[in-house]
Amino acid sequence: MEHSLFSKPRDLFLDVVNPKDYVQIDSIAHIYQSLKSSVQKPLKMILLFGRPGTGKSMLLHKLHHDLSKHQKVFMFDIPIVDEDDFLRVLAERIFAYSPRETMTLTRFLEIAEAVSYTDVPIVLLDEAQLYSSSLMEKIRLISDARVIKFVITLHKTDKEEIIAKEHFQTRIWESIELHNATAEELKIYIQKKLLKANCFDVANMFNDKNIKLVASLTKGNFRETNKLLFSLFSLYCWYEENNPALIQYNALKSKWIEMAAIHTGLIHA
């Protein structure tokens, strides 16, 4: 059992995605609003893309959480890469149809059209970079038939930028790109997370210089920032238990952030 002042802030920065932990930052709130209004437009597929750790899964889970109060919305956070399985699972989850036969696209569309919900159900697909081109093509055809509305996230790396172009630059896609945070936004992110959990004293330890250092080490990436702060507060927990005299509670020295960065591999010692 830990009684450290720092175990709570440490656990706030675990790398997990839970819509309840969503932090509102202006630029993201803006993106979220346009995402929400795009979802209500007919015949558009929405592509949320950006580098790893920029908050795509978080936005998708938030969308799921908010929409599910009023709409039929289904989250697939683990990709179903087998094409036959994909159509089967969709038929089962969305249209309550357990097929015995092989599920072709034609059959799937028949089932979907027979059900005809008043509002087109929304399907959220995370990690779409794992789907094959031919499955993506089927997803597009399902979308064209207006039986399901898709929102997908695509994790963009340098190599995948080409795929993103070929595949997703057609007019049916509404593309929304997420970016790393600026230092100013990262400050809001860190402060809001700590304050929401009532960690006022710990929030006060950070000055602008600390934030700038964190931002320059993590380039404003949310996942890297989480890892760095998790490691920072883990260090504090350790010192609190083993050498509390070394801890300063009213300020945060750069040295501590650097030690944490060495630990997470952001700085090579």
Residue with Cβ nearer ligand ATP (14 or 262) = 14
Residue with Cβ nearer ligand ATP (103 or 215) = 215
Residue with Cβ nearer Mg ion (51 or 212) = 51
Told to check if 23 binds ligand ATP by CB under 6 A, we report yes
By C-alpha distance, which of 60, 2, 59 is closest to 238? 2
CB under 6 A: which stretch of 19-27, 72-80, 85-93, 200-208 binds ligand ATP?
A: 19-27
Least distance from ligand ATP to the Cβ atom of residue 27, Å: 10
Question: What residues between 130 and 169 interact with ligand ATP by CB under 6 A?
Answer: 155
* Per-residue contact flags (x/-) with ligand ATP for residues 30 to 69, judged by CB under 6 A: --------------------x-xxxxxxx-----------
- CA 93 vs CA 89, 121, 152, 170: distances in Å: 6, 11, 17, 29
Least distance from ligand ATP to the Cβ atom of residue 177, Å: 11
Taking CB positions, which residue lies at the least distance from Mg ion? Answer: 57
Q: Which does 222 bind (CB under 5 to 8 A by kind): ligand ATP, Mg ion, none?
A: ligand ATP
Residue with Cβ nearer ligand ATP (88 or 167) = 167
Told to check if 222 binds ligand ATP by CB under 6 A, we report yes
What distance in Å separates the CA atoms of residue 240 and residue 1, rounded to the nearest whole number? 14
Structure tokens at 214: 């964190």
CB under 6 A: which stretch of 11-19, 95-103, 107-115, 198-206 binds ligand ATP?
A: 11-19
Least distance from ligand ATP to the Cβ atom of residue 48, Å: 8
Amino acid identity, residue 124? L
Residues interacting with Mg ion, by CB under 5 A? 57
Q: Which residues bind ligand ATP (CB under 6 A)?
A: 15-17, 21-23, 28, 50, 52-58, 155, 222-223, 226
